[in-house]
């Protein structure tokens, strides 16, 4: 793994942002964001509509270039190096599925892009786990919003990223889908994955996060710890570089 000689990152810090700012048309959306997320930690990102939560997630994922500042993943300053991209998985508010491909083909394409072994087998595994196997050969436009959301989450997980950034992942899901996603997030948490999530369904996400941060006026503010999981357990292990949990 490439290390940056001027890094301020630390291997036990999964995400570090320093002086992160983003302007659109000379309008500041993010202002000097300072954020550390420990390896294996789960945080909830709060803020009003239009506060810039999606912009922040995209900057942390390196899908949007910040106006100023820098981001590190596990001590590596984020660059365009493809080898670093395997660390990150992001569920965007929109599904971003390729409309001309079937659901299975979308998963297989994602697996191939990340050089996952046996892409067809991994796609079939995730289709089974998401309850979408019967719809594998349908295209995104032919299934419901909730079904597309399940596939979006599955696509994000296919290369087993160490960091997951999720923008409104419960959006469009019915009660069964929300239960499925909640179980997925609980499992990822137990595996030691690092989670940073934006959601308006805080009741559905109750007990899944270590702490919350509030984005207000372009700056982050700590809002305290969140309730422990219902079973009172927080058994986690840090996923090592290249490890498969």
CATH label of the domain that carries residue 28: 3.40.50.300
User: Among candidates 162, 182, 166, 165, which has minimal Cα distance to 237?
Assistant: 162
The segments of the chain whose pLDDT lies below 70 read 1-11, 80, 203-204, 223-245
Considering the domain boundaries, does residue 233 fall inside one?
A: no
The pTM assigned to this predicted structure is: 0.83
Cβ pair 34, 17 in contact under 8 A: yes
Span 54-99, pLDDT tens digits:
999 999 999 899 999 999 999 999 876 777 888 999 998 888 899 9
Instruction: For the sheet with 42-46, list strands across it.
Output: 88-91, 163-167, 194-198, 42-46, 211-216, 219-225
Quick one: DSSP state of residue 240? Answer: P
d(CA 49, CA 199): 11
User: Among candidates 71, 69, 78, 80, which has minimal Cα distance to 28?
Assistant: 69
Considering the domain boundaries, does residue 70 fall inside one?
A: yes
Number of domains in the chain: 1
Considering the domain boundaries, does residue 74 fall inside one?
A: yes
Quick one: DSSP state of residue 43? Answer: E
User: Among candidates 239, 224, 135, which has minimal Cα distance to 187?
Assistant: 239
Domain that holds residue 42: 7-81+198-225
């Amino acid at each position: 793994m490439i290390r940056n000689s001027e890094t301020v990152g630390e291997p036990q810090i999964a995400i570090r942002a320093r002086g992160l700012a983003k302007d659109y048309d000379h309008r500041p959306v993010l202002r000097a964001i300072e954020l550390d997320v420990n390896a294996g930690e789960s945080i909830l990102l709060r803020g009003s509509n239009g506060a810039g939560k999606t912009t922040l997630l995209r900057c942390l994922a390196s899908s949007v270039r910040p106006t100023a500042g820098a981001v590190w993943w596990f001590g590596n300053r984020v660059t365009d190096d493809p080898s670093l991209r395997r660390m990150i998985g992001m569920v965007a508010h929109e599904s971003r599925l390729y409309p001309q491909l079937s659901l299975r083909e979308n998963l297989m394409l994602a697996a191939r892009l990340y050089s996952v072994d046996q892409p067809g087998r991994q796609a079939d595994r995730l289709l089974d786990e998401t309850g979408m196997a019967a719809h594998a050969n349908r295209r995104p436009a032919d299934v419901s919003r909730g079904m597309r959301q399940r596939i979006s989450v599955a696509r994000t997980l296919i290369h087993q990223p160490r960091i997951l950034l999720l923008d409104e992942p419960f959006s469009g899901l019915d009660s069964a889908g929300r239960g499925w996603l909640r179980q997925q997030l609980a499992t990822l948490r137990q595996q030691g994955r690092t989670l940073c999530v934006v959601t308006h369904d805080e009741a559905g996400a109750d007990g899944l996060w270590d702490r919350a941060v509030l984005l207000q006026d372009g700056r982050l503010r700590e809002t305290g710890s969140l309730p422990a999981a219902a079973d009172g357990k927080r058994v986690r292990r840090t996923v090592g570089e290249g490890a498969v949990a």
